[in-house]
Amino acid sequence: MWHLPMTYPVLETERLILRAPVIADFEPICALMADEETTQFIGGTQSPPIAWRALCTIIGHWQVRGYGFFSVLERESGDWIGRVGPWYPHGWPQPEIGWSMNRSTWRKGYATEAAAACMDHVVDDLGWDSIIHLIDPDNVGSQGVARKLGSTNSGREVEVAGFGMMADIWGQTADEWRAFRRPR
């Protein structure tokens, strides 16, 4: 039997803890993926069996790529509030930083705070030279997060592999991120 040990980074911000997902995240992921408004730009709602598969895919992504979506926990309460992080499924144009947050956290800056920590991580620790975000052209909320991160719409559109939907490619280079971000 093979055992491939892996240590996972934990990213911390003023209000958040970002850690690799675990099976205990299943119930809050089911709640996130059952919300029609939250999922309208990421393929729609998912039943618990499909959410289970998605969670296992994210956990597997960590094993295959060595990185993946983090589970985002609110530091004060310890509550699971979303998933944010680097993601590079088969068919994607390049690795991206993506986010899906519980609707109860919208307009509180959590997605931006978590994504900024992830951008630092992929530039400083993983050595990425550019970062993209695949954003539905109608997803004004995620466009706002991207702008707050200093990303811009490239004007290019791509079909999101496996989702049957089109998305605009937003992003920036690592050098642009280094110039944009606040000092640590």
Phi/psi region, residue 85 (left: phi>0; alpha: psi -120 to 50; beta: rest), is left
Give the closest residue to 13 by CA, choosing from 121, 117, 122, 85.
Answer: 117
Task: Give the integer Cα–Cα distance in Å for 117 and 27.
Answer: 25
Contact by Cβ (8 Å): 83, 22? no
**Residues pairing with 133 in the sheet:** 170
Tell me, what's the pLDDT at 73? 97
Sorted by where each begins, the domain ranges of the chain are 11-180
* Percent with pLDDT over 70 in the chain: 95
What does the pLDDT look like over 40-83, one tens digit per residue?
Answer: 888 888 899 999 999 999 999 999 999 999 999 999 999 999 99
What does the pLDDT look like over 87-130, one tens digit per residue?
Answer: 999 999 999 999 999 999 999 999 999 999 999 999 999 999 99
> 11-180 belongs to which CATH class?
alpha beta
Neighbours of 41 (CB within 10 A): 20
Tokens of residue 108, six digits: 């509180």
Contact by Cβ (8 Å): 71, 22? yes
Confidence check: pLDDT of 3 > 90: no
Contact by Cβ (8 Å): 137, 178? no
Strand ranges in 88-151 using DSSP code E only, listed in sequence order = 96-101, 130-135
